[in-house]
Structure 1
Amino acid sequence: MTRALWKGWLKLAKVTVPVALYAAASTSDRVTFHTLNRATGHRINRQFVDAETGAVVDRDAQVKGYEVAPDDFIILDPEEIAAAIPDSDKTLTIEHFIPCASVDDVYFDKPYYLAPSSKDAAEPFALLVAGLRARNVVALAQTVLFRRFRTMLIRPNGAGLTGTTLNFDYEVRPASEALSDAPKVKIKGEMLDLARHIIDTKKGSFDPATFDDRYDAALAELVKAKIEGRRIKPKPAPKVSRQSDLLAALRQSAGKPDDAKPDQKPAPKPKRKAG
């Protein structure tokens, strides 16, 4: 049975529902490696050393420090840090209901599943799920989660709920920092028609089962080959097509001759003259 990461109460006004939080995503099935000593084959232990003296520093002698100037730190004792962390009352308090699409997904952090943690919670929990779905809204709730004050976006998922922790505003970089140099080019005419045609022919639906982790699969195959004493030949590098003419590349992608117009009809055959 899946182990709950957190148990507490989901609170809406005067209604309190005992709930459990479960991880919705995990990397535990990925291929993992240990770092070894090539000469002996033994595992390597990681140690913290003093940057100046090179001496190994035991865990009990390690403290947190905040740099106020180059190589000038103020020391924060574990007791001081613990006292600064807000106390958790294990209550996930719903503050607002908002339209489903009103939160930009750049604010999404980690997904979790929320489920009732007792039989008595089944009815009020189901009522909340039904209410969210009927009004087509999501809930914003706050609590201390894993020693941090967090905001969580809660939405229906079948008979349960999905809760996604949100990044704080200061954690999300403005799009202008990355996109300010993007040139403003106006696309129209045949180029836009071809782009629309290509998009229409590539329409589909999202099915996560169709997306493979090729890197992890390749590592698993490499490990299997090593165990069996086989040698895997490196794959040739893919050929990169360099197309300097964007319009020609679009025409080729759309399966049209270079001199054709999008959805161009063939010219009518000349009619024979009577007699």
Structure 2
Amino acid sequence: MAPRANWKGMLKIAELTCPVALYTASSTSDRISFHMINRKTGNRLRREFVDAESGNPVPREDQVKGYETASGEHVILTPEEISDAIPDSDKTLSVSGFLDCDQIDKIYFDNPYYLAATEPTGLEAYALIREGMRKEGVAALAQTVLFRRMRTVMIRTHGDGLIAHTLNYDYEIRAPNEAFDDIPIRKIKGEMLDLAKHIIKTKAGTFDPAEFDDRYEEALAELIKAKAAGKTIKPAAKPAKAQVVDLMAALRESAALSAKSKRKTAG
């Protein structure tokens, strides 16, 4: 069954256009999810909005959005007012320019989508755009309304197609000094730096997503299977607490282990 498109419209570069669709490239639907259950009855629970002061349930028709302007004070917005404020969408992914992929810091990447041609009449234009971008080694920047918001999108080539990454706005990215200001500046040199470089070289590898297991999901699946079968659940062994060690000694030991591992692999 063909995947359901998240968005359909036109990809436009100057006067060149082709009909395209966006399809979710990543999904969490296969993750194990839980329902909230009443322990006494075994029945599922449902969420309900209640008035914070009276505690009474509020009917759906009386539920509106509000923005807090001061403590306990809100500007109320109706669905119609919000809808009218959303930019109109002409369903056009308009490319404003091209740039090197490395020009955009990956911290701005939001969600990835496959961008595919949707009609036979647009396949030639789609292929022309893809091959032109591949030949020049560039990505495209475009904007359109996605999910009721104006979004900036970076488009790059990927195999026989294109991938579109929605980008975070500048105001959505927190300043790095919030995390890094308390880290002292230290100069690392001499044997310590040489050992660190040696470890990095001996541990060099490539990225293969198939090699990385989601141990949390696997553990949950085993736990559910065991409980469903009525087996006794044994708690997992807790990892030993990390000991404070001499940094230079740890580097030397790590370098020796890395070199030994590399010799084994080569042999």
> Within 5 A, what are the aligned runs for 1:68-107?
68-107=69-108
How do 1:190-269 and structure 2 match up within 5 A? 190-255=191-256
Q: Which whole-Å CA distance do the structure 1 matches of 2:232 and 2:202 have between them? A: 41
Q: Secondary structure at the match of 2:126?
A: helix
- Give the 4+ runs in structure 1 shifted more than 6 A: none
For residue 240 of structure 1, report the CA deviation from its aligned partner.
3.0
1:114 and 2:115 matched:
yes
- Residue 10 of structure 1 pairs with residue 38 of structure 2: no
Question: Which residue identity is paired with 2:148?
Answer: R
SS in 2 for 1:218: helix
> In structure 2, how many angstroms separate the alpha carbons of the residues matched to 1:130 and 1:237?
52
2:174 aligned with 1:173: yes
Deviation, 1:254, is: 1.3
User: 2-side partners of 1:87 and 1:137: how far apart?
Assistant: 29
CA distance in 2, matches of 1:220, 1:158: 34
Instruction: Give the deviation of 1:11 after TM superposition.
Output: 0.3
CA distance in structure 1 between the aligned counterparts of 2:4 and 2:75, rounded to whole angstroms: 39
One-letter code aligned to 1:157: H
Quote the Cα distance in structure 1 between the aligned partners of 2:121 and 2:241: 61
Aligned match of 1:263 = none
What is the aligned partner in structure 1 of residue 164 from structure 2?
163
- Size of the alignment, in residue pairs? 256
CA distance in 2, matches of 1:95, 1:250: 49
Cα-to-partner distance string for 1:254-275 (whole Å, 9 max, x where unaligned)? 127xxxxxxxxxxxxxxxxxxx
Report 1:119-130 matches (<5 A). Answer: 119-130=120-131
Which residue pairs with 1:272 in the alignment?
Answer: none
RMSD of aligned residue pairs (Cα, Å): 1.0
Q: How much has 1:197 moved relative to structure 2?
A: 1.0
SS at match of 1:8: strand
- TM-score (norm. length: structure 2): 0.94
Unaligned runs of 5+ in 1: 257-275
TM-score, normalised relative to structure 1:
0.91
Partner of 1:51: 52
Letter in 2 for 1:141: A
The corresponding residue for 2:260 is none
Q: CA deviation digits over 1:55-75, x for unaligned, max 9?
A: 000111011111111101111
**What residue number does 1:269 align with?**
none
Question: Is structure 2 residue 25 aligned with structure 1 residue 31?
Answer: no
**1:232 Cα shift?**
3.0
Higher helix content, 1 or 2: 2
Cα deviation 1:97-149 (Å, max 9, x = unaligned): 01120000010000000000011111110111101111111000000011000
What is the rounded CA distance, in whole Å, between the counterparts of 2:71 and 2:222 in structure 1?
47
Q: CA deviation at 1:13?
A: 0.4
Quote the offset at 1:243 in angstroms: 3.1
Which ranges in structure 2 are unaligned for 5 or more consecutive residues?
258-267
**Sequence identity, in percent?**
58
Compute the displacement of 1:228 (Å).
1.4
